């Protein structure tokens, strides 16, 4: 982030929200695709690093 004084336009906010939603869908898909507890933990760890 640029700092607390930075003002975002409506378009920038919408783009950021869309990116967050995309990453959330990807994270959920990775967890759903996991077949073992270890796979789930790896998927969760990978998404936390984003």
Q: Does 43 map to a domain? A: yes
Q: Does 5 map to a domain? A: no
pLDDT at 41 > cutoff 70: yes
Q: Does 37 map to a domain? A: yes
Q: 22-36 as b/e, with b when 16 or more CB fall inside 10 Å?
A: eeeeebeebeeeeee
Q: Does 27 map to a domain? A: yes
Q: Does 20 map to a domain? A: yes
Domain residues for the domain of 35 are 10-48
**Greatest Cα-to-Cα distance within the chain, rounded to the nearest angstrom:** 45
pLDDT at 33 > cutoff 60: yes
Number of domains forming the structure of the chain: 1
Q: Does 44 map to a domain? A: yes
Which tokens sit at 15? Answer: 């783009």
Per-residue pLDDT band for 2 (boundaries 50, 70, 90) equals low
Q: Does 39 map to a domain? A: yes
The pLDDT of 31-43, averaged and rounded, is 85
């Amino acid at each position: 982030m640029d700092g607390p004084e930075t003002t975002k336009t409506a378009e920038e906010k919408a783009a950021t929200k869309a990116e967050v939603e995309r990453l959330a869908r990807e994270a959920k898909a990775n967890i759903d695709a996991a077949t073992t507890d270890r796979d789930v933990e790896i998927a969760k760890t990978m998404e936390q690093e984003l």
